[in-house]
Structure 1
Amino acid sequence: MLAGMRLLATDLDGTLVFHHAVGQADAEALVRWRAVGNLLVLATGRSLRLVQHAVEVARSSTSIGLDYDYAVCATGTTVIDAVGQVHRTRTLEADQVRAVVRAIGDVAQAPVSVFASTLERDYVLDDPIGLSTDQRTPPDRFTAAPLAQVAGLGVTSMPLHIPDVRAAAALARGLEETVDGISCTRSTGFVDVTAAGESKGAGLGRLAELLAERGVEVSEVAAVGDSWNDISMFERADVPCAMAGAPGEVVEAAGGRTTPSVAAFIDALLG
């Protein structure tokens, strides 16, 4: 058994990716982390395809790129390795996807842009806010399609873009009360709808099982993130850390530990 490996799980948006770019100092710190035999896991609400986009962003914005060992994608529903092989995924039922779209019209207190992610593609079902047409959004990021076409394609998560914090919290509560068998996880500007029980923390748990099956023993888990959807992975971490400026509940879940950057957190971990 391979013993003594440490694992760092890092969020992407608002933690490692800012304004569609990865900082050089953070990229260099990730290289140092892996160079001494530690594991790097990307833990994100992004779909598999949008994780790949983050890697492309890192390659274009740094001289290093973004090499990782595993990724926990789509709010914990999907675990992939460094070459993109899917080791575990869980999808919503087609009826659940349809029910979520219907329920949004009943419970939403503000405009909501509705997206649906599968392993192959990211779809936009309704976008009154205009996220999919924002000039900062890559033109091939989302495919417009009707609900009837998308519902049965194996939707791993439904990111709902709703910038207002209070409206997002109300939407998450309302959907969970209205639609059976789903979980709604908040992040900055989004509510991610998944099959019940899914979260970044649950995804890390399944990754731990996969590593154990491969004979990899992890001696310590560290995690860093900036939003509510990171709380579940903080609960699984030995060393949780929130980004400076994260909401109070997130900082509290990290035991009050904060960092100004991923690079600073890695420097502290490596001593």
Structure 2
Amino acid sequence: MSGKLISVDLDGTIVFERQVDPDGIAALHEWQAAGNLAVCNTGKSIAATKHALRNTDLEFDYYVLYTGAVVTNKDYEVLTSHTLPNEVVTEIATKLQGMDNLAVFATTLDTPDVRISSTINASKSTSILQTFAPLTIAEIPEHTFVGIPLWLDDTDEAIDALHQQILSEYGEILDCHRNQNFLDIVPPNCTKATGLEWLVPRLDHSQHIHFETYSLGDSWNDMDMHNWADHSVSFPYSPAEVQELTEQVTPTAAEFIRKVLAQ
């Protein structure tokens, strides 16, 4: 028995300017109504994903969150998770506090996202990480962390330089992925693909279904997911290397979903 499964990024794929595309929602409902599975695959935390989807009736079948570090069911109940050592979180937060044009956030499994430090002008905000509470470095030992999102209000060159610096210094104990003007620090060997690699074989076994897989994503942190999928799709505004990697480039997520449904 065969079925179809689509893995869908949020920001820049179906979420734009803090709003979920209504046509994208409708197309995903059509996808699920046809008996297919829809997986949300994002760098966002549980709290941030709930916030992003809060004013919609969109409910994914599964969620791959924190860039693959956590997988949940449709009710956000954790099926598997990986975390960062608190001493690593403390060391990175201490080293980066005060760096120009940088905000240091952190994510947990069971609390709102937190911001540890920021040198970005207070008048600026980002649609990727919309809500957070303050946290001091001294409070880090009181929590368990999954990720450290870094928001850089800077040039591509500066973002890439910090990306390489983090991987050079910590690459053996963590992963770091770029998403637009964010760097997402997560536990080692965590990507959007590893979350799917954990989930899909279990679905194949439990449902006795072999899934044909599709991926929809706009940015660099989607490239592992695109490599994993049978059919990968990016957008005209995606970075050139992302477009070159994917099988297709589509104007909108909704248009591609309906194209597959019509086949």
User: 1:267, 1:99 → 2: CA distance?
Assistant: 47
Identity of aligned residues (%): 30
- The 3 A distance-change label for structure 1 pair 104 and 138 is closer
Does structure 2 conserve the Cα–Cα contact (< 8 Å) formed by 1:103 and 1:175? no
User: 2:144, 2:91 → 1: CA distance?
Assistant: 15
Shift of 1:136: 7.1
TM-score when scaled to structure 2? 0.91
Does structure 2 conserve the Cα–Cα contact (< 8 Å) formed by 1:70 and 1:81? yes
**Bigger Cα displacement from structure 2, 97-106 vs 153-162:** 97-106
Give the root-mean-square deviation of aligned CA atoms. 2.2
Shift of 1:243: 1.6
User: 1:253, 1:218 → 2: CA distance?
Assistant: 24
Shift of 1:213: 4.4
Aligned to 2:143: 153
Does structure 2 conserve the Cα–Cα contact (< 8 Å) formed by 1:132 and 1:142? no
Aligned to 1:76: 68
Shift of 1:130: 4.7
User: 2:3, 2:84 → 1: CA distance?
Assistant: 34
**Bigger Cα displacement from structure 2, 22-31 vs 83-92:** 22-31
User: 1:79, 1:35 → 2: CA distance?
Assistant: 23
**Where do 1:243-258 residues align within 5 Å?**
243-255=235-247, 257-258=248-249
1:85 aligned to which of 73, 77, 82: 77
Aligned to 1:173: 164
Does structure 2 conserve the Cα–Cα contact (< 8 Å) formed by 1:124 and 1:132? no
Does structure 2 conserve the Cα–Cα contact (< 8 Å) formed by 1:77 and 1:194? yes
Does the residue aligned with 1:245 lie in a helix, a strand or coil?
A: coil
- The 3 A distance-change label for structure 1 pair 70 and 264 is same
- The 3 A distance-change label for structure 1 pair 135 and 242 is closer
Aligned to 1:62: none
Aligned to 1:198: 190
Aligned to 2:14: 16
User: 2:92, 2:202 → 1: CA distance?
Assistant: 31
Does structure 2 conserve the Cα–Cα contact (< 8 Å) formed by 1:244 and 1:258? yes
Between the two proteins, the alignment pairs up a number of residues equal to 259
User: 1:128, 1:137 → 2: CA distance?
Assistant: 18
Aligned to 2:152: 162
Does the residue aligned with 2:201 lie in a helix, a strand or coil?
A: helix
Gaps of 5+ in 1: 60-64
User: 1:230, 1:79 → 2: CA distance?
Assistant: 16
Does structure 1 conserve the Cα–Cα contact (< 8 Å) formed by 2:250 and 2:256? yes
- The 3 A distance-change label for structure 1 pair 185 and 4 is same
**Bigger Cα displacement from structure 2, 161-170 vs 88-97:** 161-170
- The 3 A distance-change label for structure 1 pair 84 and 216 is farther
- The 3 A distance-change label for structure 1 pair 243 and 218 is farther
1:208 aligns with 2:172: no
**Bigger Cα displacement from structure 2, 128-137 vs 232-241:** 128-137
Shift of 1:10: 0.6
TM-score when scaled to structure 1? 0.89
Gaps of 5+ in 2: none
- The 3 A distance-change label for structure 1 pair 154 and 216 is farther
2:251 aligned to which of 257, 260, 264: 260
